[in-house]
Amino acid sequence: MVGSLVHRGPDDEGVLVAGSAAVGMRRLSIIDVAHGKQPIATQDGNLSVVFNGEIYNHADIRRELEALGCVFQTQSDTEVVLQGYKIWGADCLSRLRGMFAFAIYDRRDESLFIARDRIGIKPLYYASLNGQLIFASEIKSLLQHPDLPREVNPAAVDEYLSLRYVPGPQTLFNHIKKFPPAHFMVWRKGRGDFKRYWTPDNRPAWNGSKSEAQEAFDHAFDEATRIHMLSERPVGAFLSGGLDSTAIVASLSKQFPQQLKTFSVGFGWEGDELSAAAASAKLLDCDHHEIICRAEDTSLLGKIVWNLDEPIGDGIVLPMYLLSKLAAEKVTVVQSGEGADEILGGYFMHRVMKWASSYSRYVPRLVQSGAIMPLVSAMPESLLNHAFDYPGDLGEAGKKRLVEFLSVLGRNSTAEQYRFLISLFSETDKRVFYTSEFQAQLDQHDKAREESALLDFNKMLSLQFEHWLPDDILCKLDKMTMAHSLEGRVPFMDHQFVELVMSMPPGYKSGLKGNKLLLRNYLAKTGASEAAKRKKKPFYIPINQYLTSEPLKGMVNELLSEGSVKKRGLFRWEAIRDLRQAADQPGFLFGKQIFSLAMLELWYRIFIDEEQGWL
């Protein structure tokens, strides 16, 4: 199990076998490189910890613990977590500022305390079998355990088709679960219960002025980027040319005198942001490096799926993998802009949700059904494209999806509308694709979902913390960076910064003047002020182009062939055949669906069939 995680920790290995427990870890040495070997035990030997992550305020906590009489053997943040638990128990979690997944074994009663960070920046999986708790940072490690069968969870396959990722707590394996973010568990005598210790709306609503809010935002953001520089190894930053990464680099450049190493990926076409990233890097005096993602790089998809543990049907995983490989040649730690869109309302879907709220509230249902929906249905796709800020075409399929969305407004909760917007395959689509046999398997699973009627924009943003952030956005960053023994850090996900931004009124974040207003105002005062004026630009991966080129074209022909589809038994061959033929039509939706299905079949080949040759 430990050996399968070498890429996450190439520097060291540690194992403890005691009583009824066996715990192990692989270490990527970043803090107290010389002496922070794990597992670390208390001096009396009663408590032992294995820890993954970084605690950015560990020096402050250390001083507090030393004042209480604690004596430390190392300078590592890992030992601070251990001593903090010894003094404060589960309450130690409220003091930790950072990203983490850790387990503390207590020899006295053979119990295990296990916890995951507030937002789910660091992954953690577990299985409970026959009174055993089996846990690891990656699924591939759990699968080394001889008691764990490789059984597929049909309900998770269904969710994957909808979302392009599997939302927690489930995984694609029947017996493996995702440990929920912001929770801890005490496992004792064959059972354990989860307890939540944090929510993103942890702070009272902001009651200051807009200028005071901006001042607080600016200070908190600089503090977040500063503490994320904590490292004894080289630190760099991803720089896409967009607002989020440019803001991080601008903040670091004004706080640290040394030249920051920055890394960008593009696609060799005029629509990417390489030129904008290079311009920002020059303005901010960075040591800048670039890489181009090309069609031939799709040969790496097998390695990417293996590193992800579960398929993520988003083509962005390919450039992220290449970018991480490039960065790992120069640095050990990299800061990245994940999470900014989620807390500042930066996505197109956020604007749609705000618009939809007003539309369903003020436009009478008769006008919606009798005038607006027929008008949209008759409108040329080329005209609709102007309202849709995406480099690809909406196409007929995209227009149908828009009409379907308009039809559900006012009838479903905001949670259901949000789910519809982020879904790749709609419920209608899936009914067409599934075989009767697979549908029967699904019917045996409880697919009930908790839906909540959300009352405002901030609460809609909070919905993303349930699974979108930990199971998709942050998971991609962690798995693609750690594939190259590179630690990805996300200052926008610093929990104190998240609490502050989430407490502020929606109009401070998004309005008539654009989106992410607080961040734009921050950037306007830096050396990269031009970036503040840039329009939000989706990170577009030319999947449709790759699908017509080798090697992806050949891979899809194999993975989604008639023989392969019928052998798997999930989908009707006729539906897959029609989808593949439709990919030649205008519109980006079909290409995304084909890519997502190919990633799923690739996962089956690697993790279920254990087929050789894909890595």
* Domain at 102, CATH number: 3.60.20.10
Per-residue model confidence (pLDDT) at position 268:
83
pLDDT tens string 291-312: 999 999 999 999 999 999 999 9
pLDDT tens string 487-512: 999 999 999 999 999 999 988 887 66
Question: Within a domain: residue 43?
Answer: yes
Residues 340 and 359 reside in one and the same domain: no
Residue 164 · residue 111 · CB < 8 Å:
no
Residues 246 and 354 reside in one and the same domain: no
Residues 371 and 499 reside in one and the same domain: no
The yes-or-no verdict on residue 260 having pLDDT over 80 is yes
Element (H, E) at 290: strand 287-292
Residues 16 and 108 reside in one and the same domain: yes
Residues 78 and 130 reside in one and the same domain: yes
pLDDT, mean of residues 428-455: 73
Residues 321 and 404 reside in one and the same domain: no
Half-sphere exposure of 427 (CA within 13 A, CB side): 8
Per-residue model confidence (pLDDT) at position 406:
59
Residues 181 and 138 reside in one and the same domain: yes
Residue 187 · residue 475 · CB < 8 Å:
no
Residues 507 and 378 reside in one and the same domain: no
Q: Is the peptide bond before 257 cis (omega within 30 degrees of 0)?
A: no
Q: How far apart are CA 42 and CA 314, in angstroms?
A: 44
Starting at the earlier edge strand, list the strands of the sheet with 487-489.
287-292, 261-266, 235-238, 333-335, 487-489
pLDDT, mean of residues 385-404: 54
The yes-or-no verdict on residue 455 having pLDDT over 50 is no
Half-sphere exposure of 183 (CA within 13 A, CB side): 18
What is the residue range of 236's domain?
Answer: 210-254+269-284+312-345+464-533
Residues 388 and 496 reside in one and the same domain: no
pLDDT tens string 24-70: 999 998 888 888 889 999 999 999 999 999 999 999 999 999 999 99
Which of these three, 426, 458, 490, is where a domain ends? 458
Q: Residue 257 in 3-state DSSP?
A: coil
Phi, psi dihedrals of residue 119, rounded to the nearest 5°: -105, -10
Residues 18 and 139 reside in one and the same domain: yes
Which of these three, 423, 458, 493, is where a domain ends? 458
Question: Within a domain: residue 564?
Answer: no
The yes-or-no verdict on residue 380 having pLDDT over 80 is no
Question: Within a domain: residue 262?
Answer: no
The yes-or-no verdict on residue 416 having pLDDT over 70 is no
Q: What is the average pLDDT value for the chain, to the nearest integer? A: 88
Q: Is the peptide bond before 204 cis (omega within 30 degrees of 0)?
A: no
Half-sphere exposure of 82 (CA within 13 A, CB side): 29
Residues 131 and 16 reside in one and the same domain: yes
Question: Within a domain: residue 406?
Answer: yes
Per-residue model confidence (pLDDT) at position 515:
82
Cα radius of gyration rounded to whole Å, the chain = 24
Question: Within a domain: residue 527?
Answer: yes
The yes-or-no verdict on residue 354 having pLDDT over 70 is no
Counting the structural domains of the chain, the total is 3
Residues 11 and 148 reside in one and the same domain: yes
Question: Within a domain: residue 227?
Answer: yes
The yes-or-no verdict on residue 269 having pLDDT over 90 is no
Question: Within a domain: residue 248?
Answer: yes
Q: What percentage of the chain carries pLDDT values higher than 90?
A: 71
The yes-or-no verdict on residue 355 having pLDDT over 90 is no
pLDDT tens string 556-588: 999 999 999 999 999 999 999 999 998 877 666
pLDDT, mean of residues 364-378: 55
Q: How far apart are CA 344 and CA 464, in angstroms?
A: 12
Q: Residue 221 in 3-state DSSP?
A: helix
pLDDT band at 449 (very low <50, low <70, confident <90, very high): very low
Question: Within a domain: residue 305?
Answer: no
Q: What is the CATH number of the domain that holds 330?
A: 3.40.50.620
